[in-house]
Structure 1
Amino acid sequence: MESFCVYGRDEGGPFLLVSDHAGQAIPDTLGDLGVSAEERARHIGWDIGIDGVGQGLAEALPALLIEQVFSRLVIDCNRAPGHPTSIVRESDGTAVPGNQSLCAQQSSWREQAILHPYHERIRAELDARQARGQVTCLIALHSFTPVMRGYVRPWQAGILHNRDSRLAHIMLDLLRGEGLCVGDNEPYALTDTSDYTVPEHAERRGLPYIEIEIRQDLITSVAGQEEWVARLARLLPAAWRIFCETYGERS
């Protein structure tokens, strides 16, 4: 079983979609990591709802989507190799027995089997687009739990950015213009050390990007996913047009 799936189609548009936490699978050799199915279905195991949003958006734009199929409890594909939270021993109060006292060889196996193939697939796609002179904007898709450690999060979505905030600020304005409560680097801040996908694949190459977080209760249902697919399929091209006009980029 490969560590990623590819959906949608590339028709020459600027967007490449990636989703680090879309899946729930666990390699057979690891059993259930000692975590119940109920716990694995929580936000600690995957980004609830983002699989449906990502696949729907890939069809609607259209664009290519590369998404991770294994649970973040096995290894977090938005963390650099060896990062302290790459393989968690505990997540939001839930212990992960199968991740306790791993030796270097066991951790390395998860990196080689899951983390690296996923990122190599993204890297290969970006290399191919660059080779044919295709403009690329990376869109990283995530979702977040409505309540964390007792705090009820007010945002319906969040736009995350780090060294290049230009496109993020445009998208923030568009989303807020629709009456939505949207966090600016909330509920998480994108940094060189907390994240891996955007710094590695977008910022290292100087590519424009947005990391989008959607609150999970809004996209648990198919109807909610379709609503956000329609919204993003409309606003992402609008944000890209504004970006190109403002900064003289080639659309």
Structure 2
Amino acid sequence: MSEPVYRFIGEATRGGIVAVCDHASNFVPEGIELGVPPGTLDKHVAYDIGAAGVCERLARRHNIAAMLGEVSRLVVDLHREEEADGLVPTTSDGILVPGNIGADRDKRLEEYHRPYHSAMERWLDEVQPGLILSIHSFTPELESKPGQERPWEIGLLYNEDERAALHAIRLFGELGVTVGDNEPYSGRELNATMNRHAEAHGRPYCAIEIRNNLITQERGQARWAAIIADVAGRVKLALETA
């Protein structure tokens, strides 16, 4: 296995703000045949559309270094616990992934999932960030539930540690953003990366979901990166002065 599992953008400042993006890429390594219909890798089921672009701009324009996952979640979902059913998905939002039926789960863990999380652990231990941003995107509606609109522009997800999220919800709201509190789904049900690398270590974090039709183009990515960087800076200040 020679393909990169992750990449870093920018130089992290110790005690500063960093970003992680589990679903940055729709890349499928050589030798893995998913058997999905044409065009599937361009859909949200394969990666978080626009999220990598937001992280690129956070790093290059706002001094928020980022770590990006470089393997499609249809190969292995980096934002799942090792024992989770959806780690190597056989279906996703109603789309069958026949190549994953009977796939070697342990091999996918060893080649992709564990190297990614081991590298993240080393990085965060070294940087000791004051705030972690976990950047994801979501669809305006699910393919399996057409017509059921998701009105939020941004959602803040959290499990047990709500410190940073509640500040962010308030601050995004003050900017006129339609913001979801544990929407479009709950961090109490799906928060694997932040549970492991933030909550388990007492590190404050904002798990941010951006509606992907807002960030499909570079202009939108730049706009939302600027908004997120502004809010993140004020969240960090609020945490430090609490």
TM-score tier (shorter): over 0.9
SS in 2 for 1:27: coil
The 5 Å alignment of 1:19-38 reads 19-31=21-33, 33-38=34-39
Native 8 Å contact 1:23 1:69 kept in 2: yes
Q: Does 1:61 align with 2:62?
A: yes
Distance 1:51 1:86 in 2: 21
Question: Are 1:166 and 2:160 matched, yes or no?
Answer: no
What is the TM-score with the length of structure 1 in the denominator?
0.91
- 2:34 aligned with 1:40, yes or no? no
TM-score under structure 2 length normalisation: 0.94
Q: Equivalent residue for 1:91?
A: 92
Which residue is equivalent to 2:130? 136
Partner of 2:113: 115
| Preserved CA contact (<8 Å) 2:159 2:191 | no
Residue 79 of structure 1 aligns to a residue whose secondary structure is: coil
Tell me the CA shift for residue 37 of structure 1. 4.1
Deviation at 1:200, TM superposition (A): 0.4
1: CA distance, partners of 2:28 / 2:201:
32
Is contact 2:14–2:127 with CA below 8 Å preserved after alignment?
no
Cα distance between partner residues in 1 of 2:169 and 2:217 = 24
- Runs (4 or more) in structure 1 with deviation over 4 Å come to none
RMSD over aligned CA atoms reads 1.3
The structural deviation recorded for 1:163 is 1.0
Aligned to 2:211: 215
Aligned length: 237
Unaligned stretches of 5+ residues in structure 2: none
Shift of 1:13: 4.8
Within the alignment, does 1:179 sit opposite 2:176 as a pair?
yes
Q: Answer with 171-180 or 55-64: which moved more.
A: 55-64
The CA deviation at 1:12 is 3.5
Which secondary structure does the structure 1 equivalent of 2:152 belong to? coil
Distance in 1 (alpha carbons) for counterparts of 2:179 and 2:125:
33
Does 2:192 correspond to 1:196? Answer: yes
For 2:168, the aligned partner's letter is M
Unpaired runs of 5+ residues, structure 1, are: 247-251
Aligned mates of 1:67, 1:119 — CA distance in 2: 11
Sequence identity of aligned pairs in percent?
34
Displacement, 1:230? Answer: 1.2
For residues 47-104 of structure 1, what are the alpha-carbon distances to aligned partners after superposition, in whole Å with 9 as ceiling and x for unaligned?
Answer: 00001001110123312211101100001001011211111111111110111123xx
Q: Distance in 2 between matches of 1:36 and 1:13?
A: 45
Q: Is the contact between residue 23 and residue 51 of structure 1 (CA under 8 Å) also seen in structure 2?
A: yes
Say which of 230, 236, 240 aligns to 1:234: 230
